Each structure stands twice: as structure tokens, then as C-alpha cells.
Structure 1
Amino acid sequence: MTSRTWLITGANSGFGRHLSEQLLSRGDRVVGTFRAIGSVDDLSRRWPDDFRAAHLDVTDPAEITAVVDEAWAALGRIDVVVSNAGYGLMGAAEELTDDQVVHQIATNLTGSIRLIRAALPHLRRQGGGRILQLSSVGGQAAWPGGSLYHATKWGVEGFADALAGEVAPFGIGVTIVEPGGARTNFRYGGSVLADRIEAYDVTPAAAIRRVLTERTTEGIGDPALMATAMIASVDHDPAPRRLVLGSDAHQAIENALNARLSDVRTQRDSAKATDSPLEGVITSGPADLNAE
């Protein structure tokens, strides 16, 4: 088994914690980032030679650059970058404040993009590596009450999907990880619930509010097994573009994709009807290159 060096954001809890513990236990090195002071002290004590803790607020561009550059300077090489830090902002779109919207995007979407962009020059110079971008079943399927969370996950999937083609020539693989419900602290500790607008109590958006306030449900996914699957994916070459984790995620994503494909197929003729009738129109290249 090849020993690797990993950079993992949000290493103090959830998937980041499970990944860190499993990797350190098998002899890999980990740079683990955290926001809450003291939240990774136990990892530092247990693996003083192999775990490097770094404070990181992924909404701070300067701190992202500093942490990434310092990690490479200290360790020489990082094989895998795991963009994991994030949280869920739940509530109907109208219930959200502007500040909540900005912070959700800055954390889940812009923060992930900035982290990866900061790592790319190092990965290129060392001749390759792997990027794991944590998304969610919510990056392919969407439910009322999670509009902003879905916006960030759909956005980061589009970014990572295009990125994979850009960096493949440099030996850099990109995998989008799409877990379903897992028994981590995400649901009842890592999610923020918007203030209630009474009019939405009788709409589908109220379902997520009931889940988060009643605390009567648990995800079916085992986070330790999911972390093991993420680690194993790094041994695959080429990198799997997507890694679906959990039977609930698989079913929801399959249903969502089938529904979208069905909608698209019914519009074949109407889509063609908008083509230019002029001869000599250039049609090669990305279909949406000139999209408005």
C-alpha cells in the first residue's frame, strides 16, 4: 500500500474526521484544517509526526492561499486534496437572509473553488495528484427547502466536472463525491435553519424544517464506510468522475436523472425548430459556447 500525503478541509468532524483517522491509522500523512480551536488537538497528540493541523476559514481567500502554500512548503508534496468543509443552509428561499445566502455560497461554493485553485499550481509542478470534491446527493437531486444548499452543490459539481477535463493532461484526477444521508453531525449540528415564515408551513418546503426540529430521523449511510470508499477511489486510475455513496443517494440521483432525461427527450423537435436555417453555421465545439 502506497503511503500518501493528504490535505483535508474540515478535518475536525464528519467525513473529514473519519478520513483523517483512517488515513493516519494506516500510516499516511494528513494536513487537516479546522475552524474551532481545540477540535483536532486529539489528532495532534495521537499522531504528532503525521498530522499537521492548520486553522482555516474557507471564506477567507488570503488564509486559503497561506494554508495551501505552507502545507506544500513544509511537506514537499501533497498527493490528495479533499475539499470537504461546508454546511447546509435550509429553509425556503424567501426565508433566507441576504447574509445567510452570501455565507452559504462563500463557504460551499467559492471556498471550494478557491481551495482547488490554490492547490492547482502545486499539483501541476509536482506532476499530478488527485482532488476529491465533496458534493452530495443534493448536487444532482433537489428538494424544496434546500434551494441555496442545492445551488452551491450543483455549482461546485459544474466547476469540478469542467475542471477534470482541464487538468487531466497534467496527471491530476478529479472525483466528485455524492454521499446520501450519513450518520454524521451534518443534519443536526452542521445545518443552519432559516427563520420561519408562517405562509410556508403548508408547503413542501416545511418538510425539511420538521426534520431538523423534530430530530427523529437518521441517515442510513455509515460515515466510516463512506470514508473508506473515498480513500479507495484514489487507487483507481483514471479517477472516477463521480462517487455515489449510499443506496438512498443512488436511488435519488437515478430518479432525478431519469426525470430530466425524460423532459429533454420530449423536446427534441422543438429544440431543433430553433436552429438557424442558414447554411454554413459552425456547429462544432461545446454546445453552449455561445449560450446567453
Structure 2
Amino acid sequence: MTQQRTWFITGVNSGFGRLMTEQLLARGDRVAGTVRKLETMADLKQQYGDRLWLAQLDMTQTQQIQKVVGAAFDELGKIDAIVSNAGYGLFGAAEELSDEQVVHQLATNLLGPIMLVRAALPHLRAQGGGRIIGLSTFGGQATLPGGSLYHASKWGLEGFLESIGQELAAFQIGVTIIEPGSARTNFRHGGAQLGQPLDAYQGTPAAMVHAMLKDTSRLPLGDPTKMSSIIIDSVEQTPAPRRIVLGSDSWGIIRKALTERLAAVEAQQELAASTDIVPGA
């Protein structure tokens, strides 16, 4: 029988956050969930009562993050897993995006998760360990035109999580990065924003993202329910997997990007060595 756990998950009102919360509560776990609007969780709160602890949280408000995380640990005691899920996608050519959009994207997708993890770390160390799970995307290892700021936020998040994974192993804190492909969530409708199109980019690769996000006839391949189950089950693995790729599209895109990157590095071996200082030369 699976051990009962307590989870802290940001953005539980929709997408993977909602699905994970539903699955966890159904199997008997406790969830501390954050949302921007508490009323969006009224149905689950009524059904599960005290097993669903809720707090209002804007991931761009760093002081608020500290308070909410502290309150969750104070009221619930041990929390086994911290899941950084809240986020959204900002798309369009870089110069089509406003300064406000750029700042908000990085504050939500990168700085917010960093502050979340930093707020949780003293508690996780004090209790003797735990798990940190960060929701990224294939866009954390590969790029497409029209996604520069979204990719910047996810590449930054993956770099942060990979580094702290090495820092925290000594404290029995495992860190896992989740890299889903397309999934049948509300991402394209509620989880994505667009810049203001510029005529100069019409017909260029960067313009394709506008058409893609507006095309409702293209159904994503990924089953978000299956993906959510795998994310939940990942806490049973020891040691914690560093990355989990979900979806055949994600696997293919990441594999292509890494293969091309490795080939480029291999081709520069002689050039790289030519810049070394040769002793005695």
C-alpha cells in the first residue's frame, strides 16, 4: 500500500496542478495547494475538507511566497514533496513583447519557483529530507522561434534545479525536473499569452507560433492524466530521477536538440584545445 504523503503544489486550479491534486486526494494524501482565486477550488474543498489546505498566492510576490510556505509547514507539519507547477507561456517574437510581459514571464516562471524552493529548503532539511519537483517542458532543453522568453524562463529553471540537485543530495532532498510535451490541458487557452504581432515578422518562423496557438483543430498527443500519475509516482524512485520526459513529441524534440548540440561540441574539440596555455611553450 502506498504511504500517505503531504504535498505542496502551486497552481492547483487547472492543468497538471488540478489533476495531480485530484489524484492525490482520491488516494488519501494531503495537499497544500496555492491558487490566485480560492473560489476555483470550492468543489474539492467541500469534498475533501481538511485534507485540502488552500492559500491564495501570486508567484510574482516573493514575500508572499515565504509567508505561505511557512504557514503550510507550521500548520501541516512534515511536507514530503514541493511541486513547482504554477506558470504560463508567453509567445511571440522577442520585440513583439512588452517590457511588462517580459518581466512578468520571468517573475512567474523563474523567480517565483526559485523563491518557492528557497523558502522550503530550511523546512525540508530540518525534517530530514523530501522531494522537489519542477514542472518544465521540452522547451527547457530545446527551442522554437517565437518562444524566446518562455524558453529563457524554462532553461533558467532547469539550470537552477539541476544545480541544487547536486547541492541537496547530502540532505536526502531529491530534485526532479518534469519535461512534458503537448498535453490536453487548457495551456493554449488559459495558460498562454501572445505579444502584439508586428508586420515585419509576417511569413517568418516566429509568426508560426501565433497560428499554432490559435489552431483549435490540432489536438495535443499527451494524456495529462497519465502524465500526472507518472509525476506522482516519481517520488517512489530512489534516487530521485533528475529528469522525466513525458510524451513522444517531447522525447523526439529533446533528443534532436541534444544530438545536434553534442555534434556541434564534438566538432569544436580541436578549436577549444587551441586556446589552452601550453606549459613551456
| TM-score (norm. length: structure 1) | 0.94
Once superposed, what is the RMSD of the aligned Cα atoms? 0.8
SS of the residue corresponding to residue 214 of structure 2 reads helix
Describe the SS at the equivalent of 1:52.
strand
Q: 1:214, CA displacement in angstroms?
A: 3.0
List alignment gaps of at least 5 residues for structure 2. Answer: none
SS at match of 1:187: helix
Alignment correspondent of 2:254: 253
Distance 1:160 1:204 in 2: 30
1-structure distance, mates of 2:122, 2:219? 40
Q: Alpha-carbon deviation of 1:92? A: 0.3
CA distance in structure 2 between the partners assigned to 1:166 and 1:66 by the alignment: 24
Is 2:164 the counterpart of 1:163? yes
How many angstroms apart in 2 are the aligned matches of 1:276 and 1:133? 40
For residues 153 and 215 of structure 1, the distance between their equivalents in structure 2, rounded to whole angstroms, comes to 25
Specify the code of the residue in structure 2 equivalent to 1:85.
A
**AA partner of residue 167 (structure 1):** L
Asked whether 1:130 is paired with 2:144, we answer no
Q: Secondary structure at 1:234's aligned position in 2?
A: helix
Which protein has the bigger helix share?
2
Q: Quick check: 1:179–1:246 contact (8 Å CA) kept in 2? A: yes
Q: CA deviation at 1:80?
A: 0.3
Contact 2:141 2:254 in 1 (8 A): yes
Q: In 1, are the aligned partners of 2:38 and 2:55 still within 8 Å (CA)?
A: no
Residue 232, structure 1, aligned to residue 233, structure 2: yes
Paired residue for 1:64? 65
Q: Residue 37 of structure 1: CA displacement?
A: 3.8
Q: Is the 8 A contact 1:145 1:206 kept in 2?
A: yes
SS of the aligned residue for 2:187 comes to coil
What is the rounded CA distance, in whole Å, between the counterparts of 1:276 and 1:11 in structure 2?
Answer: 54
1:285 is matched with which residue? none
Partners of 1:36 and 1:51 lie apart in 2 by 15
Instruction: Tell me the equivalent position of 2:77.
Output: 76
Question: Post-superposition, which runs of at least 4 consecutive aligned residues in structure 1 deviate over 2 A?
Answer: 213-216
Partner of 1:99: 100
Contact kept, 8 Å, 2:29 with 2:51, in 1: the verdict is yes
* Structure 1 residue 217: Cα displacement: 1.5
CA displacement, residues 150-193 of structure 1 (integer Å, 9 cap, x when unaligned): 00000000000000000010000000000000000111221001
Instruction: Note the alpha carbon deviations across 1:201-240, whole angstroms, 9 max, x for none.
Output: 1110111100122322221101110000001110000000
Looking at structure 2, the residues matched to 72 and 278 of structure 1 have their Cα atoms a distance apart, in angstroms, of 56
The count of residues paired between Structure 1 and Structure 2 equals 279
Q: Match of 1:193?
A: 194
